Amino acid sequence: MVKPLRKAVLPVAGLGTRFLPATKAMPKEMLPVVDKPLIQYAVDEARAAGIEQFCMVTGRGKTALIDHFDIAFELEATLAERNKREALDLLREEAMPPGSISTVRQQVPLGLGHAIWCARTFIGDDPFAILLPDDLVLSETPCTAQLVKVYNETGGNVVAVSEVPKEHTNRYGILKTGAVEGDRVEVTGLVEKPAPENAPSNLSIIGRYVLLPEVVTYLSRMERGAGNEVQLTDAMAKMIGHAPFHGLKFEGKRFDCGDKAGFLEAQIAFALARPDLGPAVRAFLKNYVNA
């Protein structure tokens, strides 16, 4: 019987330099895809997987992310007064139970591994999910729920993986793989950003993880890896052999919204998937693709 997964860490302390000037005074994770900020997609996905407790790892200039999950009292009162039922219902559906979101501060962005280590008190002795809000997944079953299903069967660590072009392995955490069973891959090694000629495979980790709390022990060593950052991948690699470790070739399509082209593609894909917008977007796109 595995310990149930109830916690998620959302690292949002990055600088978002690739989206300047949009991210000068606004966090990258508040950028909307269609009409919902990236952070809200991550929280909704986690809640759909049974997660109840959240920890946002924030930094300077990230207050809007915290405010986003507060009650907009005046706005709600005005909407009620004007009988804007739909808008009001939308806000209320998304309201978080009191006390379910905590925040910790990463004063200096020293890397994703360091950001996770900052959440160590929240993590305690429990397994936890990590969702990087700038990775969006469009799928039938929410990606984190797919990971939790595997975790409930295998225990240990489970990461979402997808194939990348061999020449792009130096952008991602890459798996060395053992036994393959359908969509599940045994992880026998992990390397952060290997050059294509040294990459053990073309399977990359995307921003969805279920990890055991032991990873914090390895992160505490503060060893610097690729880019002189404290890399989560390096700490995860140290758990291999001590507990089950699987990669899941998840169902769905992942969009890297930390990158401009990926973000624009996500806008189109998510808009096309929406019954209220899809037909209009499909119609106007024709004016551009043949130009």
Site residues for ligand UTP per CB under 6 A: 11-18, 28, 57, 106, 109-112, 114-115, 132-134, 258
**Residue nearer to ligand UTP on the CB measure, 79 or 219:** 219
For the CB of residue 108, give the shortest distance to ligand UTP in the complex, in Å.
8
For the CB of residue 187, give the shortest distance to ligand UTP in the complex, in Å.
20
For the CB of residue 106, give the shortest distance to ligand UTP in the complex, in Å.
5
SS (HEC) of the chain: CCCCCCEEEEECCCCCHHHCCCCCCCCHHHCEECCEEHHHHHHHHHHHCCCCEEEEEECCCCHHHHHHCCCCHHHHHHHHHCCCHHHHHHHHHCCCCCCCEEEEECCCCCCHHHHHHHCHHHHCCCCEEEECCCEEEECCCCHHHHHHHHHHHHCCEEEEEEECCHHHHHHCEEEEEEEEECCEEEEEEEEECCCHHHCCCCEEEEEEEEECCCHHHHHCCCCCCHHHCCCHHHHHHCCECCECEEEEECCCEEEECCCHHHHHHHHHHHHHCCCCCHHHHHHHHHHHHCC
For the CB of residue 103, give the shortest distance to ligand UTP in the complex, in Å.
12
**Residue nearer to ligand UTP on the CB measure, 119 or 212:** 119
Q: Which residue is nearest to ligand UTP (CB)?
A: 14
For the CB of residue 12, give the shortest distance to ligand UTP in the complex, in Å.
5
Residue 264 near residue 243, CB atoms below 8 Å: no
**Residue nearer to ligand UTP on the CB measure, 208 or 246:** 208
**Residue nearer to ligand UTP on the CB measure, 18 or 238:** 18
**Residue nearer to ligand UTP on the CB measure, 142 or 258:** 258
**Residue nearer to ligand UTP on the CB measure, 18 or 184:** 18
For the CB of residue 191, give the shortest distance to ligand UTP in the complex, in Å.
17
Q: Quick count: other Cβ atoms within 10 Å of Cβ 213?
A: 15
For the CB of residue 26, give the shortest distance to ligand UTP in the complex, in Å.
13
**Residue nearer to ligand UTP on the CB measure, 108 or 179:** 108
Question: Closest Cα to residue 247, out of 215, 211, 197, 216?
Answer: 211
